[in-house]
Amino acid sequence: ETGVTQSPTHLIKTRGQQVTLRCSSQSGHNTVSWYQQALGQGPQFIFQYYREEENGRGNFPPRFSGLQFPNYSSELNVNALELDDSALYLCASSLTRGAGASEQFFGPGTRLTVL
Amino acid sequence: KQEVTQIPAALSVPEGENLVLNCSFTDSAIYNLQWFRQDPGKGLTSLLLIQSSQREQTSGRLNASLDKSSGRSTLYIAASQPGDSATYLCAVTGAGNMLTFGGGTRLMVKP
């Protein structure tokens, strides 16, 4: 069973640029969630995708957007990067089977630095 | 809005001590509670998951309890080892299968 993978591991961008982060779900999972973790803080929920549709969103501006593909892999896109976007971005996958919650499994994260 | 608080923020103990990490949450309408471990600059490793209908879960030297009505959970680590040094995060799953995390407890176990 393959776990959750993310790419790239590290990324350095400058203010105003755009970035795309990628996540491959654990085999058999149909739901992907993205979290932002600033240094020294707990992760904050960005959004979740279920069967290629956005299925919930946290308190993040529209310049944070995402996609989920038919194979359930996912992308997080951030436009017009700001210094405060510097963080560890975590992807988590899970298997949703109707109502209720399922355990989420996390990838190793992508460390984004905005200069 | 769900809020999760972890106390203490940091903890330093000598090797061999038993210790307790605390987590509290404001909204008891949760599906489950998870404890995670995070090493510096790394992703999250799930340690224990307690469903809302359960009171506790055990794995090796770790024991987590859940009191949903009072909005509290504790993670008990027995006979701590230097390899236990990490940040421990507690998170609750609410509506929309969304995890709300606490700020974490940074644990240092000294040899």
Interface test with B, best of A50, A57, A106, A111 (most B CBs within 10 A): A106
- Nearest alpha carbon to residue B98 among A11, A5, A44, A113: A44
Percentage of chain B surpassing pLDDT 90?
92
Across chain A, mean pLDDT equals 92
pLDDT tier at A98, thresholds 50, 70, 90: low
8 A C-beta contact, residue A80 and residue A14: no
Taking the C-alpha atoms of residue B90 and residue A83, their distance in angstroms, rounded to an integer, is 27
The partner residue sitting opposite A42, judged by closest CB among B34, B96, B103, is B103
Q: For residue A109, which residues of chain B lie inside 8 Å, CB to CB?
A: 42-43
Dihedral of alpha carbons B79, B84, B88, B91, sign: negative
- Nearest alpha carbon to residue A23 among A94, A115, A98, A103: A94
Interface test with B, best of A48, A104, A111, A112 (most B CBs within 10 A): A104
Stretches in chain B below the pLDDT threshold 50: none
Which positions ≥6 away from B100 have C-beta within 8 Å?
A45, B2, B3, B4, B25, B91, B92, B94
Taking the C-alpha atoms of residue A24 and residue A73, their distance in angstroms, rounded to an integer, is 4
Number of CB atoms found within 10 A of residue A8's CB: 12
Position A1 pLDDT exceeds 70: no
